[in-house]
Chains A and B, each alone.
Chain A
Amino acid sequence: MKVAILGMGSVGKGVLKMIGEKDLDIKVTAVADSKSALMDRDGISIGEVLEAKRVHGFCGDKSLNAMEVVTGADYDALVEVTPTNANTGEPALTHIIAAMDRGHHVVTSNKGPIAREFSMLRSIAREKRVQIRYEATVGGAIPIMHTLDQGLAGNRILAIFGILNGTCNFILNRMADEGLTYEQALLEAREMGYAEADPTYDVKGIDPAIKLVILANTFWKKTVKLEDVEITGIDKLTNDALRLAEEQDCTIRLIAEAIPDRGILRVAPRLLPISHPLVVEGTFNAITIETDMAGEITLIGKGAGSIETASAIIGDLLYIRDRHEGSHSKTA
């Protein structure tokens, strides 16, 4: 299978590294970052590209760009892992549409296009008979989309709720365990590299709300938008509130929940018993799915990280390859 990778941030580097290290029968025929690109139909040298990026800050030829890779490179699947723009979904949206128009599959970790234009992307994919997969957009390494699409096929999903933002989970953990104020815990999260310089998307609950939209669009037979989610962040929480919760063997976590029958789409801090399966440590994510046949299933795993996200991307790539055996060139 031949892949073109757009984006050489943490996720892109993780994907390249794992394809380079593991015997996955995946050949990288193109890469692009924000400044440059590189194409070779016989396969690029992953070691050299990663080294070039490390030394120079860009990966290839500055006269080439990502869009030229999308339209000109020789690949079966496009791996779109450029930074998320939650407002427009660009430039990822344009890359994804162009790749599908050429009859290529797409695998992405980019929440912007999937949350904003899911129904359009899905209809293009159907029309062009290609796959668009986005496991890495929600829950990091947790195979939530595979679980919903394949593992729980035939089940009716009654509800999904969980912790979809590791940064908020870390902050609430530190406030509860160490009695830190919200501001102190946020500063610590920044120092540890868990929070962005502008943490608004995380602490105001927008990031988990975007993920909830992606989940709801996947299992709920209707198209929902970010505006449909009732969102409350964690930035007004006090360590006193966490202490008062703890006196009752409870704690507070930022929970995203979707309950189709009641029309609920909500992200808000909630009280949970400390023994609850969704009460996870550090930056972990945890998702509970309530179904009619399988009952309750809870998945817990790392919500972010270079290699963890690469796991989700590679899972999608191999799924596509196995489903479309014969239509792609074997590279072994």
Chain B
Amino acid sequence: MKLEIKDAPGQLVAALKPISEVGGNIIAVIHQRDEKQRGKMLSVQIVLELPEQRLKDLTRLIREQGVNIQRIGHERLLYQKTVMVIGHLIHTDLGDTVDRIDCTGFAEVTELNISMPAITQVSSARLLIKSVNREDMEQAMAILRRVAKEKDFLLVEPLEEIE
């Protein structure tokens, strides 16, 4: 996100403090001093990780500090799950398998590691799937289960703790 803060001591800290209050993690702070055309204001770009559903709280808290939010960039996909898929992955159109997740728009396969021992044998693949939140991930997994059934894959899902 891009913030506009007063060019005065303590202002940057005041703008960043709410991030830790909502449990966020600052990945980068880009401080651009040459954008001084706005007088005594300074633009700062912040790249951060936030727990799900906390963006609204964060923007409110930052505004309460008297900081103007100029722009909020892309929400990146932070919820992730690794699964294994075993079967005739190539002969059953691997592109289509990946596409079924990607085309949802709310989840995507961001990594694919595959091992293909021989043409007649089954392949094994590790997929990293990312989504914005848990509900989307559940839907993506439901799609993957359907695809696995349809294409006769063995799908190995992670064991998750009960909350």
Q: Which of A53-61, A125-133, A216-224, A233-241 contacts B (4 or more CB under 8 A)?
A: A233-241
Smallest CB gap from A233: residue in B: B154
Q: Is the CB of B162 within 8 A of A159?
A: yes
Cβ contacts under 8 Å, B28 to chain A: none
Q: Which of A77-85, A246-254, A307-315 contacts B (4 or more CB under 8 A)?
A: A246-254
Q: Which of A14-22, A88-96, A99-107, A267-275 contacts B (4 or more CB under 8 A)?
A: A267-275
Cβ contacts under 8 Å, A255 to chain B: 159
Complex alpha-carbon distance, A159 and B157, angstroms:
18
**How far in angstroms is the closest Cβ of chain B from A159?**
5
Smallest CB gap from A248: residue in B: B82
Interface digits, A140-170 against B, CB 8 Å rule (1 contact, 0 not)?
0000000000000000001101000000000
Cβ contacts under 8 Å, B122 to chain A: 236, 238
Whether A244 touches B154, Cβ cut-off 8 Å, given contacts A158-B162, A236-B86, A271-B84, is: no
Q: Is the CB of B156 within 8 A of A252?
A: yes
Q: Is the CB of B159 within 8 A of A244?
A: no
Cβ contacts under 8 Å, A268 to chain B: 156-157
Q: Is the CB of B159 within 8 A of A240?
A: no
Is the C-beta of B124 less than 8 angstroms from some C-beta in chain A? yes
Cβ contacts under 8 Å, A210 to chain B: none
**How far in angstroms is the closest Cβ of chain A from B150?**
16
Is the C-beta of B132 less than 8 angstroms from some C-beta in chain A? no
Interface digits, B121-132 against A, CB 8 Å rule (1 contact, 0 not)?
011111000000
Complex alpha-carbon distance, A290 and B86, angstroms:
31
Cross-interface CB contact of A244 among B87, B125, B157, B162, cutoff 8 Å: B125
Whether A244 touches B126, Cβ cut-off 8 Å, given contacts A236-B86, A271-B84, is: yes
Cross-interface CB contact of B86 among A241, A243, A250, cutoff 8 Å: A241
Whether A240 touches B124, Cβ cut-off 8 Å, given contacts A271-B159, A278-B159, is: yes
Q: Is the CB of A236 within 8 A of B154?
A: yes
Complex alpha-carbon distance, A276 and B158, angstroms:
12
Complex alpha-carbon distance, A272 and B157, angstroms:
9
Contacting residues of chain B (90-133) with chain A, CB-CB under 8 angstroms: 113, 115, 117, 122-126
Cβ contacts under 8 Å, A270 to chain B: 156-159
Q: Is the CB of A269 within 8 A of B154?
A: yes
Is the C-beta of B83 less than 8 angstroms from some C-beta in chain A? yes
Complex alpha-carbon distance, A244 and B159, angstroms:
16
**How far in angstroms is the closest Cβ of chain A from B124?**
4
Q: Is the CB of B159 within 8 A of A272?
A: yes
Complex alpha-carbon distance, A290 and B159, angstroms:
14
Q: Is the CB of B156 within 8 A of A238?
A: no
Q: Is the CB of B83 within 8 A of A271?
A: yes
- From A236, A259, A272, name the one whose CB has the most chain B CB atoms within 10 angstroms: A236
Complex alpha-carbon distance, A269 and B83, angstroms:
11
Cβ contacts under 8 Å, B124 to chain A: 238, 240-241, 244
Whether A271 touches B158, Cβ cut-off 8 Å, given contacts A236-B86, A238-B86, is: yes
Complex alpha-carbon distance, A14 and B87, angstroms:
43
Complex alpha-carbon distance, A269 and B85, angstroms:
11
Q: Is the CB of A232 within 8 A of B154?
A: yes
Q: Is the CB of A245 within 8 A of B159?
A: no
**How far in angstroms is the closest Cβ of chain A from B109?**
14
Cross-interface CB contact of A271 among B82, B115, B117, cutoff 8 Å: B82
- From B82, B113, B122, B162, name the one whose CB has the most chain A CB atoms within 10 angstroms: B162
Q: Is the CB of B84 within 8 A of A252?
A: yes
Q: Is the CB of A241 within 8 A of B156?
A: yes
Cross-interface CB contact of A247 among B126, B156, B162, cutoff 8 Å: B126
Cβ contacts under 8 Å, A257 to chain B: 159
Q: Is the CB of A241 within 8 A of B84?
A: yes
Complex alpha-carbon distance, A276 and B161, angstroms:
11
5 other A-B residue contacts (CB within 8 Å) besides A243-B115, A250-B158: A240-B115, A240-B123, A247-B126, A259-B162, A270-B157
- CB pairs A–B below 8 angstroms (21 shown): A159-B162, A236-B154, A237-B154, A238-B122, A240-B115, A240-B124, A241-B156, A244-B84, A244-B113, A244-B115, A244-B125, A245-B126, A247-B113, A250-B158, A259-B162, A269-B154, A269-B156, A271-B84, A271-B159, A272-B159, A278-B159
**Residues of chain A at the chain B interface (Cβ within 8 Å):** 158-159, 161, 232, 236-238, 240-241, 243-245, 247-248, 250, 252-253, 255, 257, 259, 268-272, 276, 278, 290
